[in-house]
Structure 1
Amino acid sequence: MRLVSSLGLCVARPTDARPLVWPAASALIGFRAVRAAVRASRASGHAQPTLVKPKAKSQKGWKIEPTAARPTWKARQPEKSQMRAALPQRQAEATGLDHSVMAALQQHIAAVKRAYFSQDAHALLAAFRIDPGTFGAIQADLNRDPNRDLSAWILGQIPVSASPTDSERFQSLVADFLAYVRDHAPLSYASVASQAPAMADWDRAYDAWALVYSRASAFFSLPDTVWFVSSLRFFASSLVTLAMAVDQRTDAVQKRKTTDAAGRLSKAAGMAGNDRSQARGSETKRAAVLMLANLSFKAYFKLNNTRLCETVLGSVENALKLNRTFAANNGQNDESGEQCYSRADRVTYRYYLGRLRLFQHNIRADSTSSLLQASTHLRWAFDNCTLRNLRNKRAILIPLVATYLILGRYPEPALLEASNLSQVYGPLTFYLKSGQAAAAMDELDRHMDWLRFRGLYLILREKLQISLWRNLARRCLALSYGPAQAASGPPTLRVDKLLSAARLAWRDPSLQPSDIEAILASLIDQGFVKGYILHSKGVLVLQKGPHMGFPPIWTVFNP
């Protein structure tokens, strides 16, 4: 039976026994009616009709014939879900990996690959700096096949590009990084205070990470790898942190791992500092020299071996000189050569440089060196350290106050109170200003462990004795010098009066006049006292002027 519309369309009833429900009675008008019929058929769950062109020339128009019954959209969903689930399995068979359990690893490699080929420094750093949760997921994926050749697999995942400067060094870095993830605990567990896995072998962990750092350093030595500096910073800082943590766990005396890390970083700093490319410092490998130098200083200070810091300083000075030369040749003003470095790196560098000069007792800049005083470096670091890093500002202030005490510049009590240093430096400052020598030495001994840990005890005990004798003599002069003496001639101080005061201040009754004269002669020779000793009368004759023969101590260190 056929229903013929006014437009010549023939609608054929399906061959099965189920009735086909058509909308709008039996007269269907145009293609709009055909579409409505198809929709109604789908809604009823019946076989879907097909639009068929008539075969005979005498038969005009089109007709709709039913096709074989097909499942509805909802009925086909389980089949599509099964196809999607089977797709990873087919991919896994092609790559030789179990993709159902390799999601974290594949995502990580994909992120590394994208960052590498786009040279996205931030994305690459984020890919390498993984949190413990992601670390565990990747580790589980890798341990599904612990015997896999990671080097060959990585070359398949991240192929070497066609660039003439490209090589397999980056792929080797990624392979060794994944080998560390597979075999060792996360870096954050290296600290003694952390809850590390019971069976963690930290000696082997450091050796594995040292290999990772070596791969990173080798890749950085290639041309056009300045964009890799942020990732190199991560590998280098992790190397130092891991070395110190491992030594604290297993080798607190000889500190072999820290020594090894310091040597590796010093070598890398030399490579970065010797980049003579005629370009802005931030566009050359010199961009990494301060970062590598600071990490080297951190290791050397931990080893109490500041002598080796001079090699690193040579690399830094060479890089800064090249930066200054480039700036001058291009009409730029960069007197320090440090403008291309971040404030954080500059503050850290000045902090270590100031401490280094202080430990070397180089309070005064010598005539053959362009280095400024230790106090200048520490003060610059303190002034440029932001208030968001109060802990760092306090760390800088500790050696800065010690340097200022030697220079005769005494801190305000409010500053010491705000930085929680009044307990250490408050009484010491008071005794130093008043010349109470024995009390000052007792105060140093009371905080000896605290000061020795920071490398300040010996230099303070040595250098402050000069200030104590100078301040004691000046105070005796102030108490004994009157208006009549001021009008008569240059100020004078009797040696016997200073002797009495010295016996009380030093709590040493065995002191003799000859001892006092020898000490005064030493102070005059070093420039802390301006005058001469009149031995026949036992008198110290001082220079006339506003300072009365006692120039400010800091001027002696800055001739």
Structure 2
Amino acid sequence: MAFTYATYLQRVKQAFSRGDGAQVAALLDVTGCLVQANQPASKKKRGGGGLETKLEHVSDLAQNTTQQLESKANKALRSQCGDSAAEVAASCAVCARHLLAGDPVQAYDRLALSVQPFVDLFRTEEQTWVVPPLHAMADNVRLVACSADDAIRSRGGEPDRLENAGNHLMTFFSAANRPQGDPDKRLATLRVVNSLFRIYFALNTLRNCKYLVRVVDAKKFLSFESFACADRVTYKFFVGRLAVYEEDFECADSYLTYAFDRCLGGREHRKQRSMILKYLVPVKILTRNQLPSEALLRKYALDQRYAEVCRAVREGAVAQFERALAKNMELFVASGVFLLMERLRQAVYRRLLKKVKLIHQAMRPEKAVQVPLRLYAAALTWQGYECTLDEVECICANQIYRGHVKGYVSHKSGILVLSKKEPFPPMSFE
């Protein structure tokens, strides 16, 4: 149900007085106002079933000026909860008013003023109840900044609020990582790290992630298992993506597998598992030579993205692989897996080469391990993939270098000489 700003402030005071971190976090949360502001007027709700702690249900925000919201917060909170609490509550209320009025830029600029007061509050309070409110404030800053940048971009301006939000979240991270009072306040850190990852990936400033990874991996940091499972899963997902970007596919496999195996639950978790698999599927093919089942791809709605690719890898259909790559080019680029797909081309080349070797062996058993490069070129041409003998030689050399094939290329003779013992190391999809 809807309630007044005075009632809201009374609940803030009660929650702060009790040290009720979950309630304080809910009261400071402005993200519901983003959803409310983006809905058609006919669907906007003012109470009637929403949580009574949410700012979007405060009925008289629009009737109060910024000065009035600040004055009322100071009067209600300052004496009992302190200056910082009053400043933070007022800033969140003003931010919510701007969001509901459709002005996310003003909303962000006002919200940013609450960062230092909240950091002061976090450092002063010795108990761990301030951890959930810090998480709420980190989400506020990031999500409102995203909305502000969208608005700036739509007006033809240069968006800069998300970058600014990253600086503010680093302030949160520093406060949480070197806390005063209860050392368990450091449990706030990993959620903030994940929010920073989201910002750095959105801005394509991935170099900034390395410092955070070093901190989390340090021996002096909290035990990783002490953090909430959801935060651990999110962290492993992002460091897995970072490993993909750095072409460290073994680490990517380890991180993404950790995230997938521990991402359990209902419909929302299925969406998250699907997101993880977008990266894990090509990584598994590259590092473990494992192809997903068609049932798995269908279950997580990835069949249109990967089914044709996987068939091409399994069958050695180079032209089919190229068509699948071209068809989903924008999708692969947008999700950051295009370079992974480029790497998968090697698996397709290898599968076709194995077929060519078997055909050559049937035709010339006495020279079974001496495969003419022209025969491989003919197979590629037959599939509709034109390439020269020099290009075929380069393909074979790459196969040998990557360990997909054992042997050597005789440039003078135009022959691929395969090892007599296991020329094609086992691959699970064959």
Match of 2:378 among 497, 500, 505: 500
Q: Are residues 493 and 301 of structure 1, via their aligned partners in 2, closer, same or farther at CA, if it must alter by over 3 Å?
A: same
- Give a deviation string over 1:307-353, Cα, whole Å, max 9, x none: 221122223223xx2246xxxxxxxxxxxx21211111011111111
Give 1:293 shift. Answer: 0.8
TM-score of the two chains, using structure 2 as the length reference: 0.82
- 1:529 and 2:405 are equivalent in the alignment: yes
Give 1:529 shift. Answer: 1.6
What amino acid sits opposite 1:437 in the alignment?
V
- 1:153 and 2:75 are equivalent in the alignment: yes
Maintained 8 Å contact 1:266/1:312: no
Q: Which residue of 1 aligns with 2:39?
A: none
What amino acid sits opposite 1:549 in the alignment?
P
Match of 2:327 among 446, 454, 459: 446
Alpha-carbon distance in 1 for matches of 2:319, 2:355? 16
Q: Which residue of 1 aligns with 2:177?
A: 273
Residues 228-307 of structure 1 mapped to structure 2, 5 A cutoff: 228-251=130-153, 254-274=158-178, 283-307=183-207
Maintained 8 Å contact 2:8/2:58: no
Match of 1:184 among 90, 93, 98: 98
Give 1:483 shift. Answer: 12
Question: Equivalent residue of 2:224, what SS?
Answer: coil
Maintained 8 Å contact 1:270/1:312: no
Number of equivalenced pairs: 398
Alpha-carbon distance in 2 for matches of 1:169, 1:223? 11
Alpha-carbon distance in 1 for matches of 2:77, 2:71? 10
- 1:204 and 2:135 are equivalent in the alignment: no
Q: Are residues 145 and 532 of structure 1, via their aligned partners in 2, closer, same or farther at CA, if it must alter by over 3 Å?
A: closer
Structure 2 stretches of 5 or more lacking a match? Answer: 30-52
Match of 1:406 among 282, 286, 310: 286
Question: Equivalent residue of 1:540, what SS?
Answer: strand
Residues 424-435 of structure 1 mapped to structure 2, 5 A cutoff: 424-435=305-316
Give 1:232 shift. Answer: 1.1
TM-score of the two chains, using structure 1 as the length reference: 0.64
Alpha-carbon distance in 2 for matches of 1:442, 1:460? 12
- 1:220 and 2:101 are equivalent in the alignment: no
Larger radius of gyration: 1
What amino acid sits opposite 2:409 in the alignment?
I
Alpha-carbon distance in 1 for matches of 2:78, 2:273? 49
Structure with more helix by fraction: 2
Structure with more contact order per residue of length (Cα contacts < 8 Å, sep ≥ 6): 2
- 1:111 and 2:25 are equivalent in the alignment: no
Residues 471-490 of structure 1 mapped to structure 2, 5 A cutoff: 471-482=351-362, 485=365
Match of 2:237 among 351, 355, 358: 351
Alpha-carbon distance in 2 for matches of 1:115, 1:349? 30
Give 1:467 shift. Answer: 2.0
- 1:550 and 2:424 are equivalent in the alignment: yes
Maintained 8 Å contact 1:236/1:292: yes
- Give a deviation string over 1:520-559, Cα, whole Å, max 9, x none: 22322332221123455543232344xx2222469xxxxx
Q: Are residues 207 and 401 of structure 1, via their aligned partners in 2, closer, same or farther at CA, if it must alter by over 3 Å?
A: same
Match of 1:315 among 215, 228, 231: 215
- Give a deviation string over 1:421-455, Cα, whole Å, max 9, x none: 11221111111222222221121111112222211
Q: Which residue of 2 aligns with 1:419?
A: 300
Q: Are residues 147 and 122 of structure 1, via their aligned partners in 2, closer, same or farther at CA, if it must alter by over 3 Å?
A: closer
Give 1:228 shift. Answer: 0.8
Question: Equivalent residue of 1:533, what SS?
Answer: strand
Give 1:239 shift. Answer: 1.5
What amino acid sits opposite 2:80 in the alignment?
I
Maintained 8 Å contact 2:316/2:349: yes
Q: Are residues 275 and 503 of structure 1, via their aligned partners in 2, closer, same or farther at CA, if it must alter by over 3 Å?
A: farther
Give 1:145 shift. Answer: 7.4
What amino acid sits opposite 1:376 in the alignment?
S
Alpha-carbon distance in 2 for matches of 1:539, 1:257? 59
Question: Equivalent residue of 1:221, what SS?
Answer: helix
Maintained 8 Å contact 2:77/2:85: no
Q: Are residues 481 and 268 of structure 1, via their aligned partners in 2, closer, same or farther at CA, if it must alter by over 3 Å?
A: farther
Q: Report percent identity of matched pairs.
A: 23
Maintained 8 Å contact 2:108/2:148: yes
Give 1:155 shift. Answer: 5.2
Q: Are residues 156 and 235 of structure 1, via their aligned partners in 2, closer, same or farther at CA, if it must alter by over 3 Å?
A: closer
What amino acid sits opposite 1:258 in the alignment?
L
Maintained 8 Å contact 2:78/2:86: no
Alpha-carbon distance in 1 for matches of 2:320, 2:78? 73
Give 1:157 shift. Answer: 4.7
Q: Are residues 124 and 213 of structure 1, via their aligned partners in 2, closer, same or farther at CA, if it must alter by over 3 Å?
A: same
Give 1:230 shift. Answer: 0.7
Question: Equivalent residue of 2:68, what SS?
Answer: coil
Give 1:413 shift. Answer: 0.8
Question: Equivalent residue of 1:361, what SS?
Answer: coil
- State the superposition RMSD in angstroms: 3.0
Question: Equivalent residue of 2:226, what SS?
Answer: coil
Alpha-carbon distance in 2 for matches of 1:156, 1:471? 71
Give 1:359 shift. Answer: 1.9
Question: Equivalent residue of 2:385, what SS?
Answer: coil
